[in-house]
Amino acid sequence: MKQLQVDSFKCSNSDIEFNQYKILAGLKEYRTEFNKNKIYPALAELVYLSSQLEEILNKKNNSLSIPLPKNIKGKNINDKNVFVEVISQTAEKNDYFYELIEWALPQIKDLISEAYIIYDFVDKNLKIESVGNNNLNDHLGYLIIPDNSIDLLQVFKYDCVAYTNDSQPYRSLKTSFLTTIKNLNYYGSIEMVKKELLRNYKENPEIATYFCDTDLDFSFSDTIYPIAKRKLLTYLFDEN
């Protein structure tokens, strides 16, 4: 989406109200997505923007200098009056920049809180289930997620990667779309779905299989799928 970025907050006295209007319009677009129960990428963008703006405010009082414009046409850069004028104008723009951030940040955080209410509801209504024996190699496997809006099952192949950065352990879950198949009523059970997958994809006979059980019919690509991925990563981490 990227309705709002840090550049959206750069303004002068003459356009601060215009920038406020643009920010409100951007927040309205995000809220519209959340009202449709669409979480991503809107939530991730707002969380990232909020962290950027908070960092800017935290560094506000630590700035030792204000950069001069690269080009000053028709005036002598050594003229003390010009120097003071430029500093004053730049500082004034910074004041409006910070003022706009301080005005907008509480509204952004409130919207993030609203989105997390939806996120938590979805998370509580998704259940990761192990299908069969997954003890052999569960860092690589299949993730089956129902897309209840079209009454089909979406199958992904996942790869759980562990790595260390600055002595801190991390895990990431990479997924790739595999196929779309009929619903559970057609197969009778999730175990039969796994047998079908192993029959059609014989290159990994010992591969793990997980099923994300849910009755929700929210947007699949914007909500169910990304939250299911996070849920599986947490499940694999806790299990190990």
Does a cis peptide bond (omega within 30 degrees of 0) precede residue 41? yes
pTM value? Answer: 0.79
Query: In the structure encoding, which two tokens stand for residue 108, read together?
Result: 């952004």
- Tens-digit pLDDT string for the chain (240 aa): 677 888 888 765 567 788 888 899 999 999 999 999 999 999 999 999 999 999 988 887 665 444 434 444 444 444 434 333 333 345 555 778 888 899 999 999 999 999 999 999 999 999 999 988 766 667 888 999 999 999 999 999 999 877 767 667 778 889 999 999 998 889 889 999 988 888 888 777 678 899 999 999 999 999 999 999 999 999 887 755
pLDDT at residue 64, as a whole number: 43
pLDDT at residue 65, as a whole number: 42
Task: State the DSSP H helix or E strand holding residue 144, giving kind and residue range, or none if neither.
Answer: strand 140-147
Query: In the structure encoding, which two tokens stand for residue 171, read together?
Result: 């895990």
pLDDT at residue 142, as a whole number: 92
Instruction: Compute the distance between CA of residue 58 and CA of residue 65 in angstroms, rounded to an integer.
Output: 16
Count each helix (H run) and each strand (E run) in the chain, helices first.
Answer: 6, 5
Instruction: Compute the distance between CA of residue 106 and CA of residue 50 in angstroms, rounded to an integer.
Output: 9
What is the side-by-side order of every strand in the sheet holding 127-130? Answer: 127-130, 208-213, 140-147, 152-165, 168-181
* Pairing mode of beta strands 140-147, 152-165: antiparallel
Residues 6+ apart with CB under 8 A from 201: 178
Domain range summary for the chain, segments of one domain joined by +: 6-124, 127-239
